[in-house]
């Protein structure tokens, strides 16, 4: 099966998360990999770990990708979102770019080449779009082989990306006492408590800027409070999206926010995913950039992604191995109506991944 056909077959399976329902897509990949001699097993509920040629005393090359997708939205699509229609040299449909095309590319590259020294491991995950839940389950399940380098096939238009920001999502909660709106002195306004906390957070930047990723950021994403106009609200909740960079500790951020907001504000962690960064001068990373330049004409200048990936979980679980984000999808089309992927980019990705497999020597980098 070639990469175009596999991408189309994966896109035809609806894995919108929630609820995900990735089982059929996982089974399709597992069947192809098993036929090619891979050992396939579940690694954490719903995930697939496929390995071949694993050797004691050596390190395997690993690829990872997720099979869930985001909801479709209300806007009409040019082609039905799960028809995987081909037009203008592209495949259209939800998940083509983020990131079933990337998964199809590394599966096809892996089944058409013998395993390298140390072996190869494919880590296919569920529920990435809701906070890398599947990758966390995979890491917690343990039993992962010794890995020397990790390729994350998220959309980069085959450009090597050397890391990404972390995601630290929080819920802030203020409680008060309800009362009639004509007698506010009888109550305790939870919204007023929250306003004071938000003013204290204005302009807060945790830590220093990273040379490539820039500054950490803080965004207040939602606010909810009150029951009706003529009552004093007894509850107000806010969600905050913080994006961190290397050198910024999430525990430190939490402590800072708790101090700034004061004891009246409860703070719950929603998503806690650290940033990822690999030195572009790492020899294997340099080798991967060379493959991308030679086989795809990719821009290999040093860059980072603002989105998070399963590497937030898997890279530290694997011993902070060198990690590169490189996939055929177009990052500008991720989560968009009329999402699509270039068939040319899919074939380039297969060639890059194939070169990575052929050049792997089984040594940790």
Domains and CATH numbers, the chain: 3-164+275-359 (3.40.630.10), 166-273 (3.30.70.360)
What value does the mean pLDDT take over residues 324-350? Answer: 97
pLDDT digits (tens, 9 = 90+) for 236-245: 999 999 999 9
pLDDT digits (tens, 9 = 90+) for 174-225: 999 999 999 999 999 999 999 999 999 998 988 889 999 999 999 999 999 9
**Pairing outcome for strands 120-125 and 60-66:** parallel
* DSSP result, 316-348: HHTTS--EEE--SS-GGGTT-TT-EEEHHHHHH
Q: pLDDT tens for residues 149-165?
A: 999 999 999 999 999 99
Please tell me the distance from the alpha carbon of residue 279 to that of residue 101, in angstroms, as a whole number: 27
**Nearest Cα to Cα of residue 315 among 282, 348, 338:** 282
User: In the predicted model, what is the mean pLDDT of residues 90-95?
Assistant: 98
d(CA 24, CA 12): 11
Measured from the Cβ of residue 297, the count of other Cβ atoms closer than 10 Å reads: 11
CA angle 269, 49, 118 (to 5 degrees): 115
Predicted confidence at residue 306, as pLDDT, reads 85
Q: What is the pLDDT of residue 302?
A: 97
Average pLDDT, the chain: 96
Q: Can you tell me the mean pLDDT for 20-49?
A: 97
* pLDDT at site 208: 87
Contacts of 359 (CB under 8 A, 6+ apart): 116, 287, 291
Residue 21 has pLDDT above 90, yes or no: yes
Whether 254 and 266 have beta carbons less than 8 Å apart is answered as no
* Beta pairing, strands 60-66 & 147-152: parallel
Q: 315: helix, coil or strand?
A: helix
C-alpha angle with apex 73: 71 to 79, nearest 5 degrees? 95
Do residues 349 and 158 touch, judged by C-beta distance below 8 A? yes
Cite the beta strand spans of 207-264 per DSSP E: 217-225, 235-244
- What letter would DSSP give residue 184? G
Structure tokens at 316: 């530290």
């Amino acid at each position: 099966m070639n990469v175009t056909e596999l991408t189309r077959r994966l896109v035809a399976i609806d894995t919108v998360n929630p609820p995900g329902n990735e089982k059929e897509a996982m089974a399709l990949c597992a069947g192809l990999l098993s036929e090619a001699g891979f050992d396939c097993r579940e690694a954490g509920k719903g995930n697939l770990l496929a390995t071949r040629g694993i050797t004691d005393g050596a390190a395997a090359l690993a690829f990872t990708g997720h099979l869930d997708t985001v909801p479709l939205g209300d806007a009409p699509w040019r082609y039905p979102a799960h028809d995987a229609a081909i037009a203008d040299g592209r495949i259209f449909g939800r998940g083509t770019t983020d990131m079933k095309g990337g998964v199809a590319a590394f599966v096809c590259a892996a089944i058409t080449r013998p395993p390298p020294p140390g072996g190869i491991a494919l880590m296919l995950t569920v529920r990435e779009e809701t906070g890398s839940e599947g990758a966390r389950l995979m890491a917690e399940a343990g039993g992962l082989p010794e890995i020397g380098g990790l390729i994350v096939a998220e959309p980069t238009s085959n450009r090597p990306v050397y890391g990404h920001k972390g995601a630290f999502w929080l819920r802030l909660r203020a409680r008060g006492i309800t009362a009639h709106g004509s007698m506010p002195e009888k109550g305790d306004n939870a919204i007023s408590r929250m306003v004071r906390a938000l003013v204290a957070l204005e302009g807060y930047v945790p830590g220093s800027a990273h040379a490539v990723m820039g500054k950490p950021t803080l965004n207040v994403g939602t606010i909810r409070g009150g029951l009706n106009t003529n009552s004093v609200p007894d509850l107000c909740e806010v969600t905050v999206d913080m994006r961190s960079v290397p050198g910024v500790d999430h525990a430190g951020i939490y402590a800072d926010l708790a101090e700034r907001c004061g004891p009246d504000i409860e703070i719950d962690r929603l998503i806690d995913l650290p940033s990822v960064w690999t030195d572009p001068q790492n020899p294997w990373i340099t080798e991967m950039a060379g493959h991308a330049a030679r086989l795809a004409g990719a821009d290999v200048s040093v860059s980072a992604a603002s989105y998070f990936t399963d590497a937030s979980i898997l890279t530290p679980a694997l011993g902070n191995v060198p990690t590169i984000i490189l996939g055929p999808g177009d990052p500008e089309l991720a989560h968009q109506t009329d999402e699509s992927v270039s068939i040319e980019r899919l074939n380039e990705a297969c060639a890059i991944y194939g070169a990575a497999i052929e050049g792997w020597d089984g040594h940790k980098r």
